[in-house]
Structure 1
Amino acid sequence: MAAHLDPRLLRGFVTVAEELHFTRAAVRLHVAQQALSRDVRRLERELGTELFVRTTRQVTLTPDGERLLPHARRVLHAQDELLAAFHQPRPLLVDLNSPGLGTPRRVLHEARELAPGHELMARYESGLTGAAGELLAGRLDASFGRFAGLDPALRAGLDHQPVRFEPMAVVLPEDHRLAAWESVPLAELAGESIYAGAGNPRTPEWTGLARLLFEGRDIEIAPPAPLAVGEEEFQRIMARTRNPILAVTEFPALPSTVVRPLVDPVPLSCVSLVWRRGLTHPAFDALRRAAALLSAEMQWLRRPAGSWTPAGDDVFMASHG
């Protein structure tokens, strides 16, 4: 007996068993009658038994044919369920880091326009390092962030596509001495303690960027604050500590705060679209295309004059996954 059975042979058998007529069964299956007869004979050879009694006037099932029929139907039903499950693919799960961040949200919106027949679902992992573990585990499909800031062991299983040199900013209490300024030179932050996610295990790539930016400028990284889950809790903790917050220019302002771009130089956050190596999904191409289209249209990959990025980040932003 064969170790494997072709489901096509079982489908032919079941159709003949239901019609008890080879011609009508062939019509249902849209195949030639001779081809259907060959398939049935092949199945009989592989099972080592006769399944039908054929005469010039009628076709009937043998006892072994009767015994096979319910098994064959279950196999075909399982195959139909499997094909149906993958005919409508699962949603593409896209991490936007945090609600309100402009770049990831705009790329996702554009991808939805490009692939209206597919579901692209937003997730919020708050940092690329946190998202990377979910990407590698297959629980998330794509994320955004500073690829150069990931641990090399994480990067080894991921690919990326540069999306934007995003200008950075500082979020200040509205009564801060610099709140009235239209932009804040980095030198004016000397002596300040700036919150940059220190101690948050999901965002070390952001804290690392802050450390490189503040080095030699007499700017401290604020000590770890309690890990806040949700916008309301984050606002409460930041209102209590009153530390300025390192952010990007499109960061949504919190109550009683202002967002001011940083200048002299203009620090840039190097944003990439990041995904698990080997990812295949019908909506993934739309996500990559959306990122490329917006990057070109908005000139996101053109560095402004007088800007700053870590040298290691530039290497990754010049490469493409």
Structure 2
Amino acid sequence: MSTVPYAVDSRLLRSFLAVAEELHFTRAAARLFVAQQALSRDVKRLERELGVELFVRSTRQVGLTGDGERLVPHARRVLEAQEELVAAFRQARPLLVDLNSPGLATGVRVLRRAREIVPELELMARYESGLTYAAAEILAGRLDVSFGRFAGLEPGVRARLGQQPVRYEPMTVILPEDHRLAALDAVPLAELAGERVYAGAGNPRTPEWTDLAARLFEGRGIEIAAPAPLAVGEEEFRRVMAKTRSPVLAVVDFPPMPGTVARPIVDPVPLSPVSLVWREGLRHPGLDALRRAAGELAKAEVWLSHPEDGWIPARDALIMMTFT
């Protein structure tokens, strides 16, 4: 005879209720913005902990067992009580959301939509420039949420964070207006052979970006430019670029800069994987709104579509398919 645990994880109850109400694992997973595999694991874990079978599954339908029906009202009461408790202490403190750099559209659009979903909450934008630095701030409790390349973080750091894939951002190259490639509508990756391309080398806040560039350039005769002074603001960016003359690797939504042109990279189209990232265990209605907003935009804008000629490291592709 199994022993019922003293406490049941509320996430497991929430997963159970979603399946009980939808009677469909795929729809329940979409409703919770989780992978179906993760949802199935939660249900199986709850069944093990309670020592009962909650669902009758077949290839075509899902139904509640007698124990499943008995659990439904209890699960609802527990979750309602938890929501009341959280609401009583919430007085929702501001949620601090890192957008990396001003003008980058993905994070800005997700934050804007989240603010529409929960207008009563304060979601405050920050600009920490780089997920590596932002992740350290998140784990230290000085920041709540950020965006960036999750696979570029150290495994020990990733283990303490939650993430939700948001977008595959096509990459672009920013060139001086008189650069030999500036007249092209798009720059084939092979045309960058022999160039020294700036990709944040030496910036301790953004090693995940430099690593992505190194993987892209490997074996293609493209060098990563030596570290340059960190340029903050349009005027400083223009001045440093005019001095170094190095093309700059960026994403397609990078804001326009004076004296430069941005050209998409093709053959292949390199993709920068962007995830929404937060501290594991964080509970805040603002985070729920951000996750919902990210899911809505990813679906509406087809942000998670991988083009046939797209390039992305295998490790990144795997991580983007598995999320909290």
TM over 0.5: yes
Question: What is the match of residue 223 of structure 1?
Answer: 226
In the TM superposition, what is the alpha-carbon distance from 1:264 to its structure 2 partner?
Answer: 0.1
| Letter matched to residue 194 of structure 1 | V
Q: For the residues of structure 2 that align with 1:153 and 1:107, how far apart are their CA atoms?
A: 27
Query: Within 5 A, what are the aligned runs for 1:229-268?
Result: 229-268=232-271
SS of the aligned residue for 2:285 comes to: coil
Aligned partner (choices 158, 161, 179) of residue 161 of structure 2: 158
State the one-letter code of the partner of 2:307.
P
The CA deviation at 1:230 is: 3.8
Question: Paired residue for 1:285, among 284, 288, 294?
Answer: 288
Which runs of no fewer than 5 residues in structure 2 stay unpaired?
A: 1-85
Distance 1:91 1:232, change over 3 A: farther
Aligned partner of 1:193 among 192, 196, 201: 196
Q: Match of 2:322?
A: 319
Structure 1 residue aligned with 2:91: 88
In the TM superposition, what is the alpha-carbon distance from 1:151 to its structure 2 partner?
A: 1.2
1:131 corresponding residue in structure 2: 134
What amino acid sits opposite 2:303 in the alignment?
Answer: W
User: Which digits, 9 at most, give the CA deviation of each residue in 1:59-78, with x for residues without a partner?
Assistant: xxxxxxxxxxxxxxxxxxxx
Q: Which amino acid in the other structure matches residue 149 of structure 2?
A: R
* Equivalent-residue separation in structure 2 for 1:114 and 1:235 (angstroms): 38
What is the TM-score when the length of structure 2 is the normalising length?
Answer: 0.72
Code of the residue aligned with 1:251 in structure 2: it is: F
The CA distance in 2 between the partners of 1:255 and 1:139, in whole Å, is 34
On the 8 A contact 1:171/1:253 being kept in 2, the answer is no
For the Cα contact (< 8 Å) 1:171–1:247, is it kept in 2?
yes
Deviation at 1:153, TM superposition (A): 1.9
Question: Rg: which structure is higher?
Answer: 1
TM-score using structure 1 length = 0.72
Which runs of structure 2 are paired with 1:11-50 in the superposition (5 Å)? none
Q: Tell me how far apart the structure 1 counterparts of residues 313 and 238 of structure 2 sit (CA, whole Å).
A: 29
Alpha-carbon displacement from aligned partner over 1:256-281 (angstroms, at most 9, x marks no partner): 00110000000000000000000111
Distance 1:219 1:277 in 2: 38
Q: How far 1:89 moved relative to its partner?
A: 1.9
Q: Which residue of 2 aligns with 1:183?
A: 186
Residue type at the aligned position of 1:239: A
Q: 1:212 and 2:215 equivalent?
A: yes
User: Among the aligned pairs, what percent are the same residue?
Assistant: 69
Residue in 2 aligned with 1:109? 112
Q: Can you list the C-alpha shifts for 1:212-249, whole angstroms capped at 9, x where unaligned?
A: 00001000000001123444333322222111000011
1:134 is paired with a residue whose SS is helix
| Other structure's SS at 1:283 match | helix
Deviations 1:70-129 (CA, angstroms, capped at 9, x unpaired): xxxxxxxxxxxxx99945321111000000101111101110111111011110011000
